[in-house]
Chains A and B, each alone.
Chain A
Amino acid sequence: MTNILYGALSLGGFALAAGIMLAVAMRLFHVEGDPMAGKIDGVLPQTQCAKCGYPGCKPYSEAVAKGEADVNQCVPGGERVMLQIADLMGVEPKPLAQEPEPPMLAFVREDECIGCTLCIKACPVDAIIGAPKQYHTVVADYCTGCKLCVEPCPVDCIDMILKPEVLEEWTWKSPETVHGPIRIGDSAHATHSV
């Protein structure tokens, strides 16, 4: 009888001690927010384009972490980002919800701009500079190509242009995509690429 009592008491004592330790640890090492959301935010392209249906990259990452959003909703991130998110969440990859677009830049036709500042307010990364009744212009190095400035413009003077290809950022294509012999004509530019 006493044996059972000792057993119950000692086990109960251990359980109590462990419980107290866990409670203390929970308070001591408490993490604000969901760490998974932070990890997902780290792989998102940060265009803040809202094409996923959430107001920005951070809200989308939080929604994915909570299981409210799917892993395939980031449009500019494409296949690679989808695979990374699926890997983080430990779920099966899914086909993309929308086809990704080539990288774009916003361009303000300055002679048509009336200086209303609406696009400046819309830009999620403060890439448009200007002041009331002054021309506005897009800082190309900061523009993420999110298109959020196009809609608010009352005079439709913002164009989305393809991001120009520059020599420094040019890379070799995969041999998989090579087709056609590499022959050059007498013309100024060849159209094939290796």
Chain B
Amino acid sequence: MLRTLFERIGLIAGGFPGGIHPEQSKLTADMPIRDCPLPPVVIMAVKQHIGEECTPLVEVGQKVLRGQKVARAQGYVSAPVHAPTSGKVIKIEEHPVPHPSGLGRLSIFIEPDGKDAWDRSLEPWPDYRQRDVGELRERVRICGLAGLGGAVFPTFIKLVRDQKHPIHTVILNGIECEPYLTNDHRLMLEQAEQIVSGLDVLMYMTGARHGVIAVEDNKLDAAERMHEAASRLGTAVSVHVLPTRYPQGGEKQLIQAITGREIPAGKLPMHIGILCQNVGTTKAVHDAVLLGRPLTERVVTVTGDAVPNPGNMNVRLGTPMRFVYAQHGLETFDGLHLIHGGPLMGERLPNVDVPVAKSTNGMLAFTTDVMVEAHRRPDPCIRCGHCVEVCPARLVPNELASLCRQDQFDKSQDYGLFDCIECGCCSYVCPSNIPLVQYFRYAKGEVGKINRERIFADLSRQRSQARDERIAREKAERAAKRARVKEDVSESDGGPSSP
């Protein structure tokens, strides 16, 4: 009781404020990762990260190898896409992606040839400490790595050596605070060596002196395993076991929990000398650098009360979700609630034929959705303040939601709308079932829309002004020409008659 109180006001040393203790329901924690068989077709969307969309590099009918780049990054914030298995490109067209809108994106369809033959053009670099840092960063970039914790921000961007903000500590995020998800837990148990190698690569690349592997106390076996594996790196690396609390896996919350330092609004972990990477991403860094293998697969937790055989699976990117659910015995989806990601921050899946993407950490299936049902009948706010106590960003969710509800977007930004991490703690605890975080998502979207419209209006104004000026200029030119012709005519008329 007292502990909860302290947590809520952020009094526990090094803790982050707020947070909740949802039921863990980690049904799949003891189930080893299985390999997903080859599906009949893989569907690679040309954008599976935050940033710019990629451009396809292959043509229909072309043979590709596993790990071959099939779409090229566009712009800086982008990550290329690779073929997840060998086979033939059968079509390139729009296809729905895992997104709550159900909308589609240009996708490359590959029919596997069953050989799963790797493209070996990238050389393995077990001697990475002899390599140039820039070379390693380029390797991480061309391997298409993006944050596998779910945010899918291109990894190479965070791996900088900045004179002004030198990185002193690399924190590996093995928190996995979402209920139900166990993919990072299993990965730490089964591939601890690879994760530690990846951590060493990250520390070498950023010049960090310390490495911290953060694990919650609901997976002590993983903490122990990581501790064993990390011992070869000596005292530079330590394992931190933190008391289980959601949303401790949020980057800012985790850094605050470990270092006691809060990242200021609008700043990045880099600004306080920290690099934070998910354990899955770190394992992918190991594969990219030490094995020369681009990102073509990831571990996905398939669970929920509607899944007959829940478990963790190593799935090729692009595998249709219907195929993955079928591997766990789920074949009919009538009346089920499907969620992409964890139960708290995940998004509803509008379509089971979408492919697994780089962001897919969980695929859940439930027979009922308690939260959604309750949120359909919210009661008035009773000002109990529970949402304020649990907000890890120290916002006042009830006030903020009331502003968002009235479309007062300017004022809601003064109340820290963009500091909201959308963890959903406020919605979770609200005794009136007010869909608080849903209001924040709505308001953030509207602010984005208003900004886009403003930019378009300014462009239209410029184009309209340019047109008006051109018309005026042409008119003036025509008038001048007419005047000249008139003058010429009157001169030639007047010429002969004059004495």
Q: What residues of chain A lie closer than 8 Å to B62, measured between beta carbons?
A: none
Contact of B463 among A44, A127, A189 (CB under 8 A): A127
Q: Is the CB of A171 within 8 A of B448?
A: yes
Task: Please give me the residue from chain A that is nearest to B103 by CB atom.
Answer: A167
Measured in the bound complex, the distance between the Cα atoms of B456 and A171 in whole Å is 17
Q: Mark B79-118, 1 if CB is under 8 A from A, else 0.
A: 0000000000000000011011111110000000000000
Task: Please give me the residue from chain A that is nearest to B331 by CB atom.
Answer: A186
Q: Mark A139-150, 1 if CB is under 8 A from B, else 0.
A: 000101000000
Q: Is the CB of A46 within 8 A of B460?
A: yes
Chain B nearest CB from A127 CB (Å) reads 7
Q: Is the CB of B102 within 8 A of A186?
A: no
Q: Is the CB of B351 within 8 A of A144?
A: no
Q: What residues of chain A lie closer than 8 Å to B75, measured between beta carbons?
A: none
Q: Mark A63-103, 1 if CB is under 8 A from B, else 0.
A: 00000000000000000100000000000000000000000
Q: Is the CB of A167 within 8 A of B105?
A: yes
Q: A45-B457, A142-B459, A184-B349 are in contact. Are A169 and B449 (CB under 8 A)?
A: yes
Q: What residues of chain A lie closer than 8 Å to B467, measured between beta carbons?
A: 124-126
Q: Is the CB of A173 within 8 A of B458?
A: no
Stretch in A11-19, A151-159, A174-182 with 4+ CB within 8 Å of B: A174-182
Is B446 interfacial (CB-CB < 8 Å)? yes
Q: Mark A183-194, 1 if CB is under 8 A from B, else 0.
A: 111101110011
Is A115 interfacial (CB-CB < 8 Å)? no
Is B26 interfacial (CB-CB < 8 Å)? no
Q: Is the CB of A189 within 8 A of B350?
A: yes
Q: Is the CB of B449 within 8 A of A171?
A: yes
Q: Is the CB of B453 within 8 A of A45?
A: yes
Is A52 interfacial (CB-CB < 8 Å)? no
Q: Is the CB of B464 within 8 A of A124?
A: yes
Is B441 interfacial (CB-CB < 8 Å)? yes
Near A by CB (< 8 A), chain B positions 32-66 give: none
Q: Is the CB of A184 within 8 A of B350?
A: yes
Q: What residues of chain A lie closer than 8 Å to B353, measured between beta carbons?
A: 188
Is A48 interfacial (CB-CB < 8 Å)? yes
Q: What residues of chain A lie closer than 8 Å to B435, measured between beta carbons?
A: 175, 178
Q: Mark A110-137, 1 if CB is under 8 A from B, else 0.
A: 0000000000000011110000000000
Is B372 interfacial (CB-CB < 8 Å)? yes
Q: What residues of chain A lie closer than 8 Å to B418, measured between beta carbons?
A: none
Q: A126-B463, A126-B467 are in contact. Are A184 and B351 (CB under 8 A)?
A: yes
Q: What residues of chain B lie closer than 8 Å to A44, measured between beta carbons?
A: 457
Q: Is the CB of B442 within 8 A of A172?
A: yes
Q: A165-B103, A184-B349, A188-B351 are in contact. Are A173 and B442 (CB under 8 A)?
A: yes
Task: Please give me the residue from chain A that is nearest to B427 by CB atom.
Answer: A175
Q: What residues of chain B lie closer than 8 Å to A41, measured between beta carbons?
A: 461
Task: Please give me the residue from chain A that is nearest to B440 by CB atom.
Answer: A172
Q: Mark B312-342, 1 if CB is under 8 A from A, else 0.
A: 0000000000000000000011111110000
Q: Is the CB of B405 within 8 A of A190?
A: no
Q: Is the CB of A186 within 8 A of B333?
A: yes
Q: What residues of chain B lie closer than 8 Å to A45, measured between beta carbons?
A: 453, 457, 460
Is B376 interfacial (CB-CB < 8 Å)? yes
Q: Is the CB of A169 within 8 A of B351?
A: no
Q: What residues of chain B lie closer than 8 Å to A1, measured between beta carbons?
A: none
Q: A46-B457, A182-B337, A185-B334 are in contact. Are A125 and B463 (CB under 8 A)?
A: yes
Measured in the bound complex, the distance between the Cα atoms of B373 and A148 in whole Å is 47
Q: A125-B463, A184-B333, A189-B350 are in contact. Are A171 and B372 (CB under 8 A)?
A: no
Contact of A171 among B104, B405, B446 (CB under 8 A): B446
Q: Is the CB of A142 within 8 A of B438?
A: no
Contact of B335 among A47, A144, A175, A183 (CB under 8 A): A183
Contact of A167 among B97, B333, B450 (CB under 8 A): B97
Is A57 interfacial (CB-CB < 8 Å)? yes
Measured in the bound complex, the distance between the Cα atoms of B330 and A184 in whole Å is 14
Chain A nearest CB from B101 CB (Å) reads 4
Task: Please give me the residue from chain A that is nearest to B457 by CB atom.
Answer: A46
Is A166 interfacial (CB-CB < 8 Å)? yes
Is B466 interfacial (CB-CB < 8 Å)? yes
Measured in the bound complex, the distance between the Cα atoms of B338 and A185 in whole Å is 10
Is B452 interfacial (CB-CB < 8 Å)? yes
Measured in the bound complex, the distance between the Cα atoms of B348 and A183 in whole Å is 9
Task: Please give me the residue from chain B that is nearest to A170 by CB atom.
Answer: B101
Near A by CB (< 8 A), chain B positions 351-399 give: 351-353, 369, 372-373, 375-376, 378
Q: A124-B467, A126-B467, A185-B334 are in contact. Are A167 and B101 (CB under 8 A)?
A: yes
Measured in the bound complex, the distance between the Cα atoms of B385 and A19 in whole Å is 60
Q: What residues of chain A lie closer than 8 Å to B99, measured between beta carbons?
A: 167, 170
Q: What residues of chain B lie closer than 8 Å to A57, measured between beta carbons?
A: 461, 464
Measured in the bound complex, the distance between the Cα atoms of B337 and A181 in whole Å is 10
Measured in the bound complex, the distance between the Cα atoms of B407 and A13 in whole Å is 55
Measured in the bound complex, the distance between the Cα atoms of B457 and A190 in whole Å is 33
Q: Is the CB of A126 within 8 A of B376?
A: no
Is B445 interfacial (CB-CB < 8 Å)? yes
Q: What residues of chain B lie closer than 8 Å to A80, measured between beta carbons?
A: 407, 450
Is B428 interfacial (CB-CB < 8 Å)? no
Q: What residues of chain A lie closer than 8 Å to B332, measured between beta carbons?
A: 186
Measured in the bound complex, the distance between the Cα atoms of B100 and A71 in whole Å is 37
Measured in the bound complex, the distance between the Cα atoms of B377 and A178 in whole Å is 11
Chain A nearest CB from B410 CB (Å) reads 11
Is B439 interfacial (CB-CB < 8 Å)? yes
Q: Is the CB of B445 within 8 A of A172?
A: yes
Q: Is the CB of A185 within 8 A of B333?
A: yes
Q: List 5 A-B contacts (CB under 8 A).
A: A47-B460, A57-B461, A125-B463, A179-B376, A193-B101
Given A167-B97, A178-B438, 4 more contacts at CB 8 Å?
A56-B464, A124-B467, A172-B438, A186-B334
